[in-house]
Amino acid sequence: PDTVTSPRSYEAACLAAGAAIAGARLIMSGAAKNGFALVRPPGHHAECDHTSGFCLFNNIAIAARYAMDELGARRVLIVDWDLHHGNGTQHSFYDTDRVLYFSTHQYPYFPGSGALHEVGQGAGEGYTVNVPLPGGQDDRAFARIFRELLSPVARQFKPDLILVSAGFDIYQGDPLGSMAVTTDGFAYLTRLLMSLAAELCQDRLLLVLEGGYHLTGERDGVMAVLAELAGRSILGPDLVKELDTATPPLAALDNARNIAKKHWNL
């Protein structure tokens, strides 16, 4: 009931998943060093056997599986900065150590998953890192979470490819959420991920569009990300320095780090 379709939805969904696959192929082959799959419908809520949350196929999970099965990737890092938790992506790789799923999301909120204690199972224990947030987090807060938790875990995981569920519903004023990220914040998160990709996996970075319901915010956020990927950053050096050193109080980060410490050297 939360995911409607029209006569050409199946075709669109196949093209969306195909774009993510094509992006992974271009990047893993060296034909491109980074990319952005600008697709609809989104994907990270789709489970293996049913649609959910406007999502028909899980585009990013399909791309990750394809990269491992067909393109030689041994380990894939999936970073999900969408407002909502990517339940389908988490469930797709919950029992494997080949995919590290890292999610920041408003909680409790749709779809209801993404609690701190959800860390994976079996061989995948520790390879799901959830950072549930109460809302109101801004550029400085997200910068700190990515610097202090994502970065050290990613360095220990050593991925061959970084995929990003890029949801722009964490934008300030988005009607479905209460986060406070600006276009500068999206550019900075992209810059940080590009730096990790350069350090860990030969620049291999692919972003896939997820949510976003403030049309101006989504447009400007996507453009800021694309500018960063293309080397034409909107960020000034003073702002970069501020975000590189910002340490706002963040109990949610402390809680997530305490859980992650059981599995990673933090």
* Helices 183-200 & 215-229 angle (0-180, nearest 10): 30
Contact between residue 17 and residue 208 where contact means Cβ atoms under 8 Å apart: no
Given 45, 84, 85, 214, which residue is catalytic?
45
What letter does residue 46 receive in the DSSP assignment? -
| Selection from 65, 3, 66, 13 nearest residue 39 by Cα | 13
Residue 86's identity, in one-letter code, is: G
Q: Please say if 45 is a catalytic residue.
A: yes
* Interatomic CA distance for residues 57 and 77, integer angstroms: 19
Residue 15's identity, in one-letter code, is: L
Cα→Cα distances 92→66, 85, 120, 127, 252, Å: 13, 13, 11, 12, 25
Q: What are the residue numbers of the active site?
A: 45
